[in-house]
Structure 1
Amino acid sequence: MIHLQRVYYSTLAAIGIPSNIMSFVIFWRRKCMLSKSSTVYLMSISVADTAVLVFIVVLELSVKYLTEEPFWSREPWCSLRDIFNYGAYNISTWLVVAFTAERFLSITTYNLRKQVSIPHGRKVTPLLRSRKRKSVVLLVTVSMTFVLLSITRSITQIILRTKGWPLDRDDYSLSINIAADIGTMISLSNAAINMYLYACTQTKFRQEVITCVKYSLWRCCLVKNDCMVKNR
């Protein structure tokens, strides 16, 4: 388990941090056919998820499994670590909750407007229907993925906190310790996969990702060619 977590958390940070930054830039600079409120929420989630990866995955868990005595094991760093860790994780969680509530209310409001027959033009109605469909897909994907990936950790944490006997968390001969660590690994993957969820469910976002990747590769080729010319 220790070796698995050492590799897993390093890989998670290497994949998640760049993808969150790319998501933020795409939502900030591009038009993905989403409402302004959705765009703001998704940008905020990208920032919060990046903070989770930096403070929890990199500065705590990766360092924990790669060094014998992490710097944050002593005061005042351990207190600051807890503040940043819980702050980042709770902000990320509540942003998903707020986004879910906001999208649900927005969709419900749209349905009410439709029932009372508020006139939409022929060109406007298809656009609103398209945005509603995209909102529903995005809402279900982000919310359900968050719940499914968090449920294992929630159950194991309840068991650990309600037990009536002392427990050595480093003893992996106990199945509850293995389940708890796997639950944490799965839960933290929430902070790294959102870009891929957006790309799978949103056509415009997927197109922007492809454009960004192509541009980045083109820039890398230019830099490489310049270096080769200078070294001749």
Structure 2
Amino acid sequence: MYKRVVLKLSGEALAAGKGFGVDVIRVHEIAAEIAEVHALGVELAIVVGGGNFFRGVAEQAKAMDRVSADNMGMLATVINALAVQDAIEKRGLHCRVMSAIEMNQVAEPYIRRRAIRHLEKGRVVIFAAGTGNPYFSTDTAASLRAMEIKADVLLKATKVEGIYDADPVITKDAVKFEQITYMEILRLGLKVMDTTAVSLCKDNNLPMIIFNLNGAGNIRRVISGEKVGSLVTA
């Protein structure tokens, strides 16, 4: 269904319910699914969050300068990227971490043309350190990178089945949207992604699918074109 995709993984997904740190077993489960998708011939890029270590807008960062807090959050994403890279390479795949903040000893600097070349050569690419700028979330980074590498779709892996008109954890009769437009997300104020990321996707006609990462095989099912999660279009 899709030739080149960007998969957005939250830091919380890597913590697997522990709330903090990296759950090695969960990371290897995700890596197994990524290997399965790669075997289909899909060019796969991944953007990781850092919420399992530090989040610039979290309660713990309230008394901090926002720029310092966001810089800490970006460094947290690099830790996660290295963990995912290690798990993917243990599956026998070639994987590159590209960081928006230069740290040559642990990751390549993000260069758009080089990232595309890695994908063309069949390597999995992980984009770390967000956009490299404070005040921008990793959701925005995922939208931006998807546009830059000309991805066919942006996949956002979450812990719910898709987009709902209310929080399904709190509201039991929340209604799921099978398909929705970016304009409706902004109008209804749905907390799917931050508004910068939504606007970027809307302005550049990039489709996005929100789906549940915890369903076994869901990444493959989404990429194969099965009706999983919620489809967002411009």
TM-score under structure 2 length normalisation:
0.28
Counting helix residues as a fraction of each chain, which structure ranks higher?
1
Which has a greater percent of strand?
Answer: 2
Structure possessing the higher relative contact order (Cα contacts under 8 Å, 6 or more residues apart): 1
Q: Bigger radius of gyration, 1 or 2?
A: 1
